[in-house]
Amino acid sequence: MRSIGDPCDRLREAIVSGEFQPNERLVEADLSVRFGAGRTAIRAALTVLDQEGLIVREPNRGARVRLISAREALEIEHVRNALERLLARCAALEAGSDDVAELRAIVAAMTERLRESDTLGYMQLNAQLHRRIWKISDNQVAIKMLNTLKSQSIRFQYGTILRPGRPKQSLREHEEIVAAIAAHDPDACDAAMAQHLGHVLETLQWAIDAQARQRPWSALREPALGARS
């Protein structure tokens, strides 16, 4: 047994990354050993993740990872899009010179990852850029809601980066968003984020349709990756 940080955070990460699959049972005793935490801490973690919508707890049957349908994933993305546009507007008004410099540095790193065909590295930086914009916005309620929604739908998002031409398009969209933030122009930032998120939705639908042609969502075992495209 070993301690590896907060069990709630670790369990959330394991679910989001695909270590635990949809409908997989979560046994308290096994989780206690795996995460080096007491049963009370594990039980508290399961309660939090149940509230976040990541797991389902059933009387006399324990907990399992919640299966999210393709339709729900799209609905979640629509809600996330509205929140992200709000935070982008706020970020354009709140950003200081240091914030802009950090955003530009992340975009530069994303460009390098794309040049090296490092898809995973690009996706990680992509998510980092969005989180940095959230932080700059300083809207804690919206940020909390976005974090929960991100955890619920993240398995569906990996396929979006695989669409031919999408990574380069995604990079251009992020460059426009950062430029609007640097100009402190909330309307331009809203428009740039709306364009980006509209393409994300289109590509998510494309990925869902592609997966559906291969096998039912209920039988799908998703890749252990997750980030915004």
212-224 residue pLDDT tens:
776 544 444 443 3
- Any idea what the Cα angle at residue 141 is, between residues 100 and 84, rounded to 5°? 50
User: Which candidate, 50, 49, 93, 79, places its Cα nearest to that of 142?
Assistant: 79
Q: What is the dihedral of CA 117, 118, 123, 129, to 10 degrees?
A: -90
- d(Cα 53, Cα 66) in Å, to the nearest integer? 7
Which residues of the chain does CATH 1.10.10.10 include? 7-65
Q: Which superfamily is assigned to 70-219 in CATH? A: GntR ligand-binding domain-like (1.20.120.530)
Which residues of the chain does CATH 1.20.120.530 include? 70-219
pLDDT at residue 142 in the model:
94
Q: What is the mean pLDDT of residues 201-205?
A: 85
172-196 residue pLDDT tens:
999 999 999 999 999 999 999 999 9
> CA 14, 128, 78, 87 torsion: positive or negative?
positive
Q: What is the mean pLDDT of residues 74-102?
A: 95
- Any idea what the Cα angle at residue 68 is, between residues 132 and 124, rounded to 5°? 25
Percentage of the chain exceeding pLDDT 90: 48
User: Which candidate, 93, 92, 90, 128, places its Cα nearest to that of 109?
Assistant: 128
Tokens 């969005």, located at residue: 130
pTM: 0.72
When comparing pLDDT for 110 and 223, which is higher?
A: 110
Q: Going edge to edge, which strands form the sheet with 62-65? A: 25-26, 62-65, 55-58
Contacts 24+ apart (CB under 8 A), 35-44: 35/3, 35/4, 35/7, 35/10, 35/11, 36/1, 36/2, 36/3, 36/4, 37/3, 37/7, 41/7, 42/7, 42/11, 44/8
pLDDT at residue 189 in the model:
97
Question: 7-65 — its CATH code?
Answer: 1.10.10.10
Q: Please give the backbone phi and psi of residue 56, each rounded to the nearest 5 degrees, phi first.
A: -125, 130
- d(Cα 174, Cα 39) in Å, to the nearest integer? 43
Q: Using an 8 Å Cβ cutoff, are 129 and 179 in contact?
A: no
